[in-house]
Amino acid sequence: MINVLDFGSQYSHLIVRRIRELGVHAELVPHNTPLAQLKKSDGIILSGGPQNLSDKSALRVNRAIFNLGVPILGICYGLQLIAYELGGMVRASGKREYGPTDVTLTKTTGIFAGLAPAQKTWMSHGDQVVRLPKGFIQTAKSKNCLNVAIAHQSKAIYGIQFHPEVAHTTNGQKILRKFVSITKAKKSWSMKGFVKNSIEQIKKQVGLDQVICALSGGVDSAVAATLVHKAIGNNLTCLYVDTGLMRQGETTQIIKTFRDHKKIKLKVIKAENEFLKALAGVTDPEKKRKTIGELFIRIFEREARKIYPSPGLRLPSPARREGNNVTSTKWLVQGTLYTDAISSGVSIGKTAAVIKSHHNVGGLPKKLGFKLIEPLRELYKDEVRKVGKILGLPEEITQRQPFPGPGLAVRIIGAVTKEKLDLLRSADAIVREEIKNAKLPTIQQYFAVLPDIRSVGVQGDARTYGHPIIVRAIDTADYMTAHWSKIPYNVLEKISVRITNEVKGINRVAYDITSKPPGTVEWE
């Protein structure tokens, strides 16, 4: 077991993900986790975070952690904490470092063993260590930061200012692998083991109760539904709410996949008019997400009563008898992932900065009426795909592109209308078709965005004043960081020509060349 102490970094969960990639069990725990629990760890990692040690409200760590005899690695803010707590000095840097940074290793031992002195890394810091604590030495430096990495000369305590967990750090995984080897943690983590344990846990948790799944048709909900179905069979009913915010052909594909392929009970609810009415005039992206999430769950409650009629919100039938008591617990399955929780600021220590509310997290109403089953909450997207493969789902499902829970509503900037949805649906279908036909293997996600602006154009010798479409495509390994995709010009040209010719009302196409960070994958 390696415990990752969460200080609120957007990458905290990604550290866990990288350690598990090495076959070692890791968990994200609060920054103030009791020492008795941490002492049982094979290793401890202090995550980064948005804190500034000069602020009184900055999160701290119990100084006694450094006397536990457990190997420790501090990343970014974690490095600064090590230095600060052990008597070093941390100050604001004259020149901040954000993004790709060249680093020179001054000692190629410890976690840097076997690496060349010159390294490409990913930085994200404004403060830096300017004086080392007693017993520590410098092990790496950069042009603007003297102590990029430090190590204790006798204890297995290491600190690095850059982020080894992100793909932009060339040898980041090698550094984490070396730290794991220093901890001597045993390899005990696998997706097959996760599937087996999850099925057993769901059976124990649910018993004979009936369960409803919030099926969206995306990879996450599809795998979650299949996992729960594997555990409880026909006691699962999937409800698919056709919000009218889906991509072209989406509903037909969902019905075919789950009714025909997996033989799972599926009820389709047509609710486009309800969602369009609720979203009328709503332009703020957070309000959009929460409006959709609220209505989404209310529709579920309404449809649940139709399936298991009973007065009020309680659903006593079918029920499970435990001794002389009859339970009537309502269960709702959701495909919430680690990334959903961290993007919503719902980190373990509740210290992460809110980037956006996920519809399964920040958008939930307070009085849900259901108990949640979130079997994928510990996983990242690529791990979920592996679980789907183990469960026997076809590739068209496991390799399906991520699609936001609020659907096209968050790919329309500004107010959502039926007209805009139809425009975006048609343009998006062309983008997806042309990129798929071009067979560009490095691109993980691609879609169209409809901004809330118009531009002048010329079509058929006449002036037009239509909407533009923005094409977004990214290369990523984990969806926590991403590069914009270098789509060949001839493919972009074909997309542009087809959209402006075939989608009436669109007269311009632009291409988004922003990576994550500083941008996000989605626009809203």
Contact yes or no for 336/374 (Cβ under 8 A): yes
Annotated binding-site residue? 407: no
Largest CA distance in the chain: 81
- The pair of three-digit structure tokens given for residue 487, joined into one six-digit string: 């789509």
Q: How far is C-alpha 176 from the geometric centre of its chain's CA atoms?
A: 21
> Would the annotation count 172 as a binding residue?
no
For residues 142 and 130, is the Cβ–Cβ distance under 8 A?
Answer: no
Q: Which long-range contacts (CB under 8 A, 24 or more apart) does 315-324 make?
A: 315/210, 318/208, 318/209, 318/210, 319/209, 320/207, 320/208, 320/209
- Whether residue 220 is annotated as binding a ligand: the answer is yes
Cis peptide before 164 (omega within 30 of 0): no
Q: Measure the CA dihedral 32/380/228/290, to 10°.
A: 80
Strand arrangement of the beta sheet that strand 26-30 belongs to: 26-30, 2-6, 43-46, 72-75, 157-160, 149-152, 136-142, 89-105, 118-131
Residue 431 and residue 411 in contact, taking contact as beta carbons nearer than 8 Å: no
Give the count of beta carbons closer than 10 Å to the beta carbon of residue 253.
16
Under a CB-based contact definition with an 8 Å cutoff, are residues 303 and 239 in contact? yes
Q: Are 345 and 356 in contact (CB under 8 A)?
A: no
| 162 backbone φψ class: left, alpha, beta (φ>0; ψ -120 to 50) | beta
CA distances from 47 to 5, 50, 318, 393 (A): 6, 10, 46, 35
Catalytic position from the list 31, 145, 152, 165:
165
Residue 165 annotated in active site: yes
SS3 at position 214: strand
CA 10/CA 339 separation, integer angstroms: 9
Task: Judge whether 217 is annotated as a binding position.
Answer: yes
219 is in an annotated binding site: yes
340 is in an annotated binding site: no
Instruction: Considering the candidates 13, 31, 76, 238, report the single residue annotated as catalytic.
Output: 76
Within a 13 Å sphere around the CA of 499, how many CA atoms are in the beta-carbon half?
A: 34
163 is annotated as an active-site residue = yes
Of the residues 13, 125, 152, 163, only one is catalytic, namely: 163
Check whether 218 is labelled as a binding-site residue.
Answer: yes
Helix 172-183 × helix 12-21 angle, to 10° = 70
The C-alpha atoms of residue 461 and residue 458 are separated, in whole angstroms, by 6
Q: By three-state DSSP, how is residue 412 classified?
A: strand
What's the distance, Cα to Cα, between the start and end of the chain in Å? 37
Which segments are annotated as binding site for ATP? Answer: 216-222
> Would you list which residues are annotated within the binding site?
216-222
Indicate which residues carry an active-site annotation: 76, 163, 165
